[in-house]
Amino acid sequence: MRITQGTFSYLPELTDEEITSQLGYALGQGWALSVEFTDDPHPRNNYWDMWGLPMFDLLDAAGVLHEINACRQAYPDRYIRVCAYDSRRGRQTIALSFLVNRPAAEPGFRLGRQEGADRRVRYAIHPYALDRPAGTRYGQS
Amino acid sequence: MTRPGFALPRPGPAPGGEDTEPVVPEPLADDATVDLTAERAGSGVGEILDALESDLVGLQPVKTRVREIAALLLVDRVRSRFGLSAGPPSLHMCFTGHPGTGKTTVALRMAELLHRLGYLRRGHVVSVTRDDLVGQYVGHTAPKTRDAINRAMGGVLFIDEAYYLYRAGNERDYGQETIEILLQYMENHRADLVVIMAGYADRMEAFFASNPGMSSRIAHHLEFPDYSLDELVAIGELMLREQRYRLSAAAEAVFRDYLARRMTQPRFANARSVRNALERARLRHANRLVAADGTLAKDDLMRLEPADFLASRVFGS
Examine the fold and report which residue of B191, B224, B257 is the final residue of a domain before the chain moves on: B224
Q: Which residues of A touch B122 (CB under 8 A)?
A: 59-60
Q: Which residues of A touch B149 (CB under 8 A)?
A: 63
Cβ contacts below 8 Å, chain A against chain B, sum to 58
Does residue B277 sit within a domain?
Answer: yes
pTM of the full predicted structure? Answer: 0.78
Does residue A76 sit within a domain?
Answer: yes
Question: A107: which residues sit within 8 A by CB, 6+ positions away?
Answer: A1, A127, A128, A129
Domain of residue A92, CATH code: 3.30.190.10
Comparing CB atoms, the residue among A10, A58, A67 nearest residue B7 is A10
pLDDT at B19: 44
Q: Which residues of A touch B151 (CB under 8 A)?
A: 57-59, 63
Greatest extent of chain A over all pairs of C-alpha atoms, in Å: 59
Put simply, the answer to whether A60 touches B147 (Cβ < 8 Å) is no
Q: How many domains does chain B have?
A: 2
Q: How many domains does chain A have?
A: 1
Domain of residue B286, CATH code: 1.10.8.60
Report the chain A residue with the minimal C-alpha distance to residue B124. Answer: A59
How many angstroms separate the CA of residue B150 from the nearest CA in chain A? 4
Average pLDDT over residues A61-85: 94
Does residue B28 sit within a domain?
Answer: no
Report the chain A residue with the minimal C-alpha distance to residue B121. Answer: A60
Reading chain B (317 residues) residue by residue, the pLDDT tens digits are 445 555 555 555 555 444 444 455 667 777 777 777 877 777 777 888 888 888 888 888 888 888 888 888 888 888 888 888 777 788 899 999 888 888 888 888 888 888 888 888 888 999 999 999 999 998 899 999 999 999 999 999 999 988 888 887 777 788 889 999 999 999 888 888 999 999 988 899 989 988 888 888 888 888 888 899 999 999 999 899 989 999 999 999 999 999 999 888 888 888 899 999 999 999 999 999 999 888 888 888 888 989 888 888 888 75
B189 and B92 belong to one structural domain: yes
Put simply, the answer to whether B1 touches A64 (Cβ < 8 Å) is no
Q: What is the pLDDT of residues A111-126, one digit of tens each?
A: 999 999 999 999 999 9
Q: Could you tell me whether strands A109-115 and A93-101 are parallel, antiparallel, or unpaired per DSSP bridges?
A: unpaired
What is the value of ipTM here, to two decimals?
A: 0.74
Which of B296, B267, B280, B200 lies closest to B236 in space, CA to CA?
B280
pLDDT at B18: 45
Comparing CB atoms, the residue among B6, B121, B151 nearest residue A58 is B151
How many angstroms separate the CA of residue A59 from the nearest CA in chain B? 6
B71 and B189 belong to one structural domain: yes
pLDDT at B104: 87
Report the chain B residue with the minimal C-alpha distance to residue A59. Answer: B151
Answer for the pair B152, B113: CB distance below 8 angstroms, yes or no. Answer: no
DSSP helix/strand/coil, B9: coil
Answer for the pair A141, A76: CB distance below 8 angstroms, yes or no. Answer: yes
Report the distance separating Cα A75 and Cα A139, nearest Å. Answer: 11
Q: Which residues of A touch B15 (CB under 8 A)?
A: 12
Examine the fold and report which residue of B170, B202, B224 is the final residue of a domain before the chain moves on: B224
More confident residue, B5 or A56: A56
Asked if A14 is an interface residue toward chain B (Cβ–Cβ < 8 A), one would say no
Report the distance separating Cα A65 and Cα B291, nearest Å. Answer: 63
- Domain around B299: 229-315
B219 and B233 belong to one structural domain: no
Domain of residue B91, CATH code: 3.40.50.300
Q: What is the 3-state secondary structure (H, E, C) of A83-137?
A: EEEECCCCCCEEEEEEEEECCCCCCCEEEEEEECHHHCEEEEEEEHHHHCCCCCC
